[in-house]
Amino acid sequence: MSRHAPLALTMGDPAGIGAEIALAARASGRVAHPFFLIDDPARLAALPGAAPVITIAGAEEAADAYPLGLPVLPLALPAPVVPGQPEPANAPAVVAAIDTAVSLARSGAAAAVVTNPINKKVLYDGAGFAFPGHTEYLAELGGVPRAVMMLAGPSLRVVPVTIHIPLAAVPAALTGELIVETARIAAAALARDFGIARPRLALAGLNPHAGEGGAMGREEIETIAPAVARLRAEGIEVAGPLPADTMFHPAARARYDVALTMYHDQGLIPIKALDFDEGVNVTLGLPFIRTSPDHGTAYDIAGRGIARADSLIAALNLAGSMAAARAGQAAA
């Protein structure tokens, strides 16, 4: 077990499955790096899970407490929690858990931030949350103009260039500058946090058959191909624009380290088909490491003891390996 700084895990929406999968992850014995949960210890005893709860006063106590159970850094919830029933009164505590984890990561007291799933509407209603989601809020906390979402699994890594916008809005939003900026962030993160000295990027086309020479659209000719040329001129190894329907079979995946897709479902459908239970959401371009399980709050099964912790376990393990890679580069 590593004696480096532990991972900070946020509570997520208290009415969801975050705390019970945290308990299950600790009990599994499959997490390679010590972690602690920022949550209200008083409510955890009633949740399903085999790991004892160890209240800690600070992140520095987590490594010693971890062999005994799940270390929990206390953060009180103002309202009672009923599994499956989100409570806006608890929204400020959800945001406070994120703030605390980021502060600990930025100070070096935590090796990385791992976030449990939130309900954005509950945060809007209860905490005046003014961000589309975790990624944008973390970029604000990290002081960076833009962060990039990557979904990573055992079989595939994907980065959607445009994310949560209507499909009809994608062509106008897709600019050469956006593609180049996204690719730069992805390439730098793969080198720094994944130990890939020369990352190989594959860029999907927007249209069927990558536009088929302009017969099915001109975005590949006018926007994507010039962006590819700019990236190559900067020394980034990149292929594309490629037809998306032939990018994700095993032989194609062996030729790149990350696929950049032009819109959300173009990338998330293949990774969820291949790595549904082990997919991890990674935020690239931050001054700290952040991962998250690639699923939602799962209100429908919260409190029933049947939620699978596989994606959280994968998120914790990836955060630990990224932290080790970043620390190794700093020491080199």
Report the alpha-carbon distance of residue 38 to residue 8 in Å, rounded: 7
The answer to whether 4 is a known ligand-binding residue is no
**Confidence (pTM):** 0.92
Helix extents (H) in 12-157: 18-28, 41-44, 62-65, 91-107, 120-127, 134-142
- Looking at residue 331, its pLDDT comes to 57
Domain boundaries, the chain: 1-147
Look at strands 148-152 and 157-160 and give their pairing: antiparallel
The answer to whether 30 is a known ligand-binding residue is no
Maximum separation of any 2 CA atoms in the chain, in Å: 63
Tell me if 88 sits within 8 A of 125, measured CB to CB: yes
Report the alpha-carbon distance of residue 3 to residue 63 in Å, rounded: 7
The answer to whether 246 is a known ligand-binding residue is no
- Looking at residue 209, its pLDDT comes to 96
What stretches in the chain show pLDDT beneath 70? 1-3, 48-50, 329-332
The answer to whether 272 is a known ligand-binding residue is yes
In degrees to the nearest 10, what's the CA dihedral of 275, 277, 283, 287? -120
Report the alpha-carbon distance of residue 271 to residue 276 in Å, rounded: 7
The answer to whether 209 is a known ligand-binding residue is yes
- Looking at residue 328, its pLDDT comes to 73
- Looking at residue 330, its pLDDT comes to 63
Write the pLDDT tens digit of every residue in 274-299.
998 889 999 999 999 999 998 999 99
CATH architecture of 1-147: 3-Layer(aba) Sandwich (3.40)
Radius of gyration of the chain (CA): 20
The answer to whether 90 is a known ligand-binding residue is no
The answer to whether 207 is a known ligand-binding residue is no
Length reported for the chain: 332
- Looking at residue 157, its pLDDT comes to 98
Which H helix or E strand runs over 170? helix 170-173
- Looking at residue 228, its pLDDT comes to 98
Q: Which amino acid is at 172?
A: A
The answer to whether 120 is a known ligand-binding residue is no
